């Protein structure tokens, strides 16, 4: 039996979808379709089923997408219609990993992929194609006949070197994931809880290979995906970076990039850096090889107590030293700050405002966010704190003066919407404490 796997090819989740597509694209007996619209998928699925073939509809979900306007209602309707046609519906991604219950019970997906899915989706598709036992595939959750949730068990983390980051043979490329997993486990973040607490790095020869695939296609800029662009080579939490490994990688990449007049970007989106890693030596090496003018530094709060509560494991002083070091070497520090953490007092919010002012005085900019209760993170059940008008005004003044940017006001709405979706049982995140 031939299977068509139709992915909702949403630009917000494209990088992770590309890794999954790469992991199953070369399996014989299946056909992959990428579509951007619910109606397009339903029309296509109808034509497939009418030919007596099988169709799997696959989505990667972000909580912020689900909480956007009435997307969750449209998604529920779409899944209902896809199942009515006879499609198998599957989902994965950060939201599905953090909230398998909501995905199964509210949205009605047939199968939810939990955690990284390169191996799970490959085994699942092969089992489907061969008429095997899909319920024994590890890494998925489903509802049994009694409507009880069954989880088939977590998989061991994959070796990044055995999987392609994107299906370059389809002329699809994106930033190269050089590191996956994060040992820090900040309590508001999903990364460690999805990908594990151990850094896994892609080998330099593999990175260079994929860089060349990108450059050969006429794309000049090489970017990377990492929880911390300066964590390359580290095996655990450390204030010291492996600068020799980073420099060796950048040097080799620069040789390849030079052949194609390409440029390297590290320490900018999506490979921001932790502040304590922005050492004199690290910035000197970056300056030598990268083309980004800015360095994106994760600071999150100006309050030592909040940094402690959210498990950041760096100090406010680390942030100021990083900003000063980056500026001295000619980078513009773009510093991530989050307001509205659970239990954050008004005084602590003012501490963040004061840190923002110090950063801008040193020549940096702020990238402002509002706290989001993301399923899968330890804080997923904790609502945000209300940010008083005076604090907002001061932050808006900094941004209005051109010294900052960010979707924090939109995120404030999303944050409360996520809490409302908890109450309405659209999101049923697992409790971590
Ligand atoms: S915020 Fe950054 S350092 Fe903290 S867990 Fe997430 S990826 Fe790791």
CATH of the domain at 31: 3.40.50.280
Residues 9 and 146 placed together within one structural domain of the fold: yes
**Does residue 143 share a domain with residue 13?**
yes
User: Which of 94, 98, 182 has most ligand 1 atoms within 8 Å of its beta carbon, as the pocket-test mutant?
Assistant: 182
Cis peptide before 156 (omega within 30 of 0): no
Last residue of a domain, one of 259, 292, 325: 292
Q: Is residue 310 within 6 Å of ligand 1 at its C-beta?
A: no
Q: 233: CA distance to ligand 1 center in Å?
A: 16
Q: Could you read off the pLDDT of 132-165 as tens digits, one per residue?
A: 999 999 999 999 999 999 999 999 999 999 999 9
Q: How far is the CA of 191 from the centre of ligand 1 (A)?
A: 6
Specify whether 338 is located in the same domain as 369. yes
Q: Are residues 287 and 329 in the same domain?
A: no
**Backbone dihedral angles phi then psi of residue 169, each to the nearest 5 degrees:** -65, -15
**Ligand 1, atom 3, residue with closest C-alpha:** 184
199 CB near ligand 1 (under 6 Å): no
- 321 lies in the same domain as 266: no
Residue 160 lies in a domain: no
51 inside domain: yes
Give the alpha-carbon dihedral of 126, 33, 215, 232, to 10 degrees.
Answer: -50
Residue 61 has pLDDT above 60, yes or no: yes
Whether 270 is in the pocket of ligand 1, judged by its Cβ within 6 Å, is: no
In a domain, 224, yes or no: yes
Report the domain count for the chain. 3
pLDDT class for 432, splitting at 50, 70, 90?
very low
The pLDDT of residue 119 is 97
pLDDT tens digit string along 102-132?
A: 999 999 999 999 999 999 999 999 999 999 9
CATH assignment at residue 322: 3.30.750.200
Measured from the CB, is residue 363 less than 6 Å from ligand 1? no
* Beta bridge partners of residue 119, listed in sequence order: none
| Residue 41 CB–ligand 1 contact under 6 Å | no
Give the model's confidence band at 431: pLDDT under 50 very low, under 70 low, under 90 confident, else very high: low
| 159 within domain boundaries | no
Residue 312 CA: nearest ligand 1 atom is 4
pLDDT band for position 1 (cuts 50, 70, 90)? confident
Kindly tell me if the per-residue pLDDT of 19 is higher than 80. Answer: yes
Indicate which atom in ligand 1 lies nearest the CA of residue 274: 3
Any atom of ligand 1 within 6 Å of the Cβ of 184: yes
192 and 324 inside one domain: no
Give the total residue count for the chain.
433
Mutation to probe ligand 1, out of 177, 184, 380 (largest number of atoms < 8 A from CB): 184
For residue 209, pLDDT over 80 is answered with yes
Closest ligand 1 atom to residue 185 Cα is 5
Based on the fold, state whether residues 370 and 297 are members of the same structural domain. Answer: yes
Q: Is the CB of 352 under 6 A from ligand 1?
A: no
Q: Is the CB of 273 under 6 A from ligand 1?
A: no
Looking up residue 188, the CATH number of its domain turns out to be 3.30.750.210
Asked if residue 166 is part of any domain, the answer here is no
Based on the fold, state whether residues 101 and 179 are members of the same structural domain.
no
**Residue ranges making up the domain that contains 193:** 175-292
**Phi and psi dihedrals of 417, rounded to 5?**
-65, -40
Task: Based on the fold, state whether residues 141 and 189 are members of the same structural domain.
Answer: no
Kindly state whether residue 196 falls inside one of the protein's structural domains.
Answer: yes
Mean pLDDT of the chain: 97
- Report in angstroms the alpha-carbon separations of 426 from 168, 230, 252, 420: 37, 38, 48, 9
131 shares its domain with 251: no
Reading the block at residue 95, the tokens are 């939201």
Find all residues with CB under 8 Å of 287, minimum gap 6, and list them: 329, 330, 331
Residues 167-191: tens digit of each pLDDT: 999 999 999 999 999 999 999 999 9
CA distance 59 to 70: 17
Query: Which among 267, 292, 317 is the end of a domain?
Result: 292
Query: 145 and 55: one domain?
Result: yes
pLDDT band (50, 70, 90) for residue 430: low
% of residues, the chain, pLDDT over 90: 98
Position 162 in a domain: no
pLDDT of amino acid 433 = 39
Q: Is 234 in the pocket of ligand 1 (CB under 6 A)?
A: no
Tell me, yes or no, whether 158 lies in a domain.
Answer: no
pLDDT at 289: 98
Determine the residue of 94, 177, 183, 185 to mutate for testing ligand 1's pocket, defined as the one with the most ligand atoms within 8 A of the Cβ atom: 185
Check whether residue 363 and residue 236 sit in a common domain.
Answer: no
Instruction: Please say if the pLDDT value at position 416 is more than 80.
Output: yes
Mean per-residue pLDDT for 323-343? 98
Chain segment 353-407, per-residue pLDDT in tens: 999 999 999 999 999 999 999 999 999 999 999 999 999 999 999 999 999 999 9
Of 292, 320, 338, which one is at a domain's C-terminal end?
Answer: 292
Query: Hey, CA dihedral for 315, 318, 320, 323, is it positive or negative?
Result: negative
């Amino acid at each position: 039996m031939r299977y068509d796997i139709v992915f909702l090819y949403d630009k917000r989740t494209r990088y992770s979808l590309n890794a999954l597509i790469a992991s199953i694209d070369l399996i014989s007996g299946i056909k992959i379709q990428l579509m951007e619209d619910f109606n397009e998928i339903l029309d296509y699925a109808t034509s497939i089923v009418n030919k007596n073939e099988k169709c799997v509809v696959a989505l990667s979900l972000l909580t912020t997408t689900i909480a956007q306007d009435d997307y969750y209602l449209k998604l529920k309707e779409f899944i209902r219609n896809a199942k009515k046609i006879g499609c198998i519906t599957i989902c994965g991604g950060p939201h599905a990993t953090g909230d398998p219950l909501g995905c199964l019970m509210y949205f009605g997906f047939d199968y939810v992929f939990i955690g990284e899915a390169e191996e799970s989706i490959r085994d699942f598709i092969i089992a489907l194609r061969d008429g095997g036992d899909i319920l024994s595939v590890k890494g998925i959750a489903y509802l049994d006949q009694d409507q009880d949730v069954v989880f088939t068990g977590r998989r061991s983390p994959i070796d990044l070197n055995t999987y392609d980051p994107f299906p370059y043979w389809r002329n699809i490329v994106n930033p190269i994931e050089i590191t996956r997993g994060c040992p820090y486990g900040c309590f508001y973040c999903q990364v460690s809880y999805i990908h594990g607490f151990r850094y896994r790095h892609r080998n330099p020869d593999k990175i260079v290979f994929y860089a060349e695939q990108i450059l050969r296609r006429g794309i000049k800029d090489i970017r990377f995906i990492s929880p911390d662009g300066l964590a390359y080579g580290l095996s655990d939490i450390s204030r010291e970076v492996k600068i020799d490994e980073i420099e060796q990688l950048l040097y080799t990449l620069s040789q390849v990039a030079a052949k194609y007049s390409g440029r390297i970007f590290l320490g900018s989106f999506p490979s921001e850096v932790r502040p304590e890693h922005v050492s004199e030596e690290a910035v000197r090496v970056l300056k030598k090889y990268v083309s980004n003018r800015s360095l994106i530094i994760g600071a999150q709060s100006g309050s030592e107590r909040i940094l402690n509560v959210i498990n950041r494991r760096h100090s406010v002083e680390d942030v100021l030293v990083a900003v000063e070091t980056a500026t001295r070497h000619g980078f513009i520090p773009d510093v991530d700050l989050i307001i509205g953490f659970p239990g954050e007092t008004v005084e602590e919010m003012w501490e963040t405002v004061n840190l923002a002012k110090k950063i801008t005085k040193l020549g940096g900019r702020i990238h402002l966010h509002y706290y989001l209760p993301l399923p899968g993170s330890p804080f997923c059940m904790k609502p945000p704190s209300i940010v008083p008008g005076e604090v907002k005004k001061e932050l808006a003044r900094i941004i209005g003066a051109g010294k900052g940017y960010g979707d924090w006001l939109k995120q404030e709405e999303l944050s409360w919407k996520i809490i409302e979706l908890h109450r309405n049982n659209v999101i049923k995140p697992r409790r971590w404490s």
